């Protein structure tokens, strides 16, 4: 299986090979999922059993660096490192290495949430998840080692109209490293290169807004190429996406200052989509969705509806799993568009800002329980396992390489469009039924709506749409239905074709049994 993944990777086009803008997905895979606070052993299993088979491209994992242990174990303790040792509540170094290997073999890439801007804040008797200790009040991090000379002067960020204040002072009390110093650069580069050696595909740079772009460029220039032995093309640069919170408010630090050599997180994307699907803007205006909305160039943007920060910090304006119907609509829109490199959020339930992941009485993270319908339990939300989301990842793979065509709207909140001649999707954001006959971009046939069901044994478990020989198709989405989206893609239902496929499989099996002494069946996730 590993050889197959490697072959596909070597044959794939090296888009962005001179920069850090190619996520290096295995062909036939697309879309990243953030498995927020998952354990490494659980991610490995998820790659093999779900993400690979459903065509996901990669996983953003929680920070790998040893972090300070904070009372009641809030989620944000993971963003207060005490060293660069690979030991966290998610697991050991060996478990991480094994996870990367297994996910790469399943056709799923791994991206590390990386903290290079700062170390921890001040805590008495500070110790880490690997038992490292620090004198945080005196900026002494012996396990690195760092001392007071490796940090910017002590000041707090108070003025977002002053770039030096934003980049040289402490963010919420977190001790701000000076990335202009060779010692600091060396420690960050060594940490990242060691991860590249074991097969990771790239990095999310946390709080990149608070580091100087020139310093980051030097750090990126010293990173190794991705490991060919783990299935990457030769001379492939690690994928890097930088957290720069910029909603277009004309602050001193802009997202456009960071996209020269690496990708940037496009926060305005989620804000605008949430605003529209909440009914505060008409969906018809999405006809020119993308850069014309003040967004980054498409190839430079990691896009998302929500992330682990905005879920908690941006209040009711950002859609989350807690508004499930319109959230699924928003994610479906993101995945159906050509703009950006999409990332899907996979959450745990929370009732307050600080609440950490599901854990036992000793603070150990509890593994998700997978229910009979493939959803998660035991406090885990797992949006990526919602049918309406994972089937839209399949939709995205099916329409890959096509553009948005045949736009239709009702001058309000009902919209529909094609992806070339490979797929069609419609949204009903109005409070009345959508009932319309449209010209299809798909060949005649009957197609399963992948939002309400699947194709099983040659039949749709949800809605179906029939494209007539004259190209007409009738689309209906009732306002009271659980799903406000309908999506179909190529490979229509063809019972005769399904029967022929079954017969071919039977004949092939008979031939194998007659002509082979033995055969080893392997499971492929590509």
Residues identified as active-site: 206, 243
Asked if 262 and 396 touch (Cβ cutoff 8 Å), the reply is: no
Asked if 463 and 486 touch (Cβ cutoff 8 Å), the reply is: yes
Asked if 75 and 355 touch (Cβ cutoff 8 Å), the reply is: yes
For 255, residues 6+ apart whose C-beta sits below 8 A from its C-beta are 244, 246, 264, 266, 296
Q: Three-state SS for 344?
A: strand
The residue behind tokens 């620090």 is 134
Tokens of 498: 């399904």
Distance CA 137, CA 516 (A): 70
Asked if 48 and 322 touch (Cβ cutoff 8 Å), the reply is: no
Distance CA 166, CA 257 (A): 14
Q: Three-state SS for 336?
A: helix
Tokens of 72: 């009641």
In 3D space, the residue among 108, 99, 127 whose CA is nearest the CA of residue 52 turns out to be: 108
Tokens of 250: 């004309």
Tokens of 261: 């050599």
In 3D space, the residue among 355, 314, 360, 306 whose CA is nearest the CA of residue 334 turns out to be: 306
In 3D space, the residue among 36, 400, 57 whose CA is nearest the CA of residue 201 turns out to be: 57
Query: How large is the angle between the packed helices 2-11 and 93-105, nearest 10 degrees?
Result: 70
Please provide the DSSP assignment of 113-155 as one string.
EE--SB-----TTEEBTTS-EEBGGGTBBTTTTB-GGGB--S-
Residue 212 backbone phi and psi in degrees, to 5: -75, 130
* Element holding 8 (H helix, E strand): helix 2-11
Tokens of 244: 């720069």
* Element holding 486 (H helix, E strand): strand 485-489
The residue behind tokens 């088979």 is 53
Helix spans in 352-430 (H): 387-398
């Amino acid at each position: 299986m590993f050889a197959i993944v490697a072959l596909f990777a070597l044959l794939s086009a090296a888009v962005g090979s001179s920069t850090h803008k190619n996520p290096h997905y295995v062909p036939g895979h697309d879309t990243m999922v953030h498995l927020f606070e998952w354990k490494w052993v659980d991610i490995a299993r998820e790659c093999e059993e779900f993400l690979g088979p459903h065509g996901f491209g990669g996983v953003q994992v929680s920070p790998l660096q040893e972090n300070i242990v904070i009372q009641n174990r809030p989620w944000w303790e993971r963003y207060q490192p005490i060293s660069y040792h690979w030991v966290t509540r998610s697991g050991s170094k060996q478990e991480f290495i094994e996870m990367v290997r297994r996910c790469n073999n399943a056709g799923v890439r791994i991206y590390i949430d990386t903290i290079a801007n700062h170390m921890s804040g001040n805590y008495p008797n500070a110790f880490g998840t690997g038992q490292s200790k620090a004198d945080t009040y005196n900026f002494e991090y012996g396990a690195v080692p760092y001392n007071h000379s490796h940090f910017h002067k002590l000041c707090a960020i108070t003025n977002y109209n002053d770039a030096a204040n934003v980049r040289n002072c402490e963010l919420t009390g977190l001790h701000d490293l000076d990335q202009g110093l060779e010692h600091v650069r060396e420690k960050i580069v060594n940490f990242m290169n060691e991860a590249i050696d074991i097969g990771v595909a790239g990095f999310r740079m946390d709080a990149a807004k608070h580091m100087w772009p020139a310093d980051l460029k030097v750090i990126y220039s010293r990173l190794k190429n991705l490991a060919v032995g783990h299935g990457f093309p030769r001379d492939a640069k690690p994928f890097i996406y930088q957290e720069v919170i910029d909603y277009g408010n004309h602050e001193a630090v802009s997202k456009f200052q960071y996209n020269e050599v690496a990708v940037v997180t496009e926060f305005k994307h989620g804000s605008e989509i949430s605003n529209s699907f909440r009914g505060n803007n008409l969906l018809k205006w999405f006809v020119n969705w993308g850069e014309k909305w003040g967004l980054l160039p498409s190839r430079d943007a990691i896009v998302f509806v929500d992330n682990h920060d905005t879920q908690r910090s941006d209040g009711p304006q950002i859609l989350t799993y807690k508004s499930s119907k319109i959230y699924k609509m928003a994610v479906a829109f993101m995945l159906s568009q050509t703009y950006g490199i999409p990332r899907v959020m996979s959450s745990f339930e929370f009732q307050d800002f600080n609440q950490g992941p599901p854990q036992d009485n000793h603070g150990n993270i509890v593994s998700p329980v997978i229910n009979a319908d493939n959803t998660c339990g035991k406090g885990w939300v797992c949006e990526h396992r919602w049918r309406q989301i994972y089937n839209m990842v399949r939709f995205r793979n099916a329409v890959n390489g096509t553009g948005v065509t045949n736009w239709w709207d009702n001058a309000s909140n009902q919209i529909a469009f094609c992806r070339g001649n490979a797929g069609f999707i419609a949204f009903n954001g109005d409070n009345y039924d959508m009932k319309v006959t449209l010209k299809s971009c798909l060949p005649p046939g009957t197609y399963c709506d992948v939002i309400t069901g699947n194709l099983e044994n040659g039949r749709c478990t949800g809605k179906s749409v029939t494209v007539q020989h004259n190209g007409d198709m009738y689309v209906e989405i009732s306002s009271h239905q659980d799903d406000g989206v309908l999506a179909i893609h190529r490979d229509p239902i063809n019972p005769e074709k399904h029967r022929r496929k079954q017969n071919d499989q039977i004949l092939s099996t008979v031939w194998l049994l007659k002509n082979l002494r033995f055969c080893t069946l392997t499971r492929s996730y590509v």
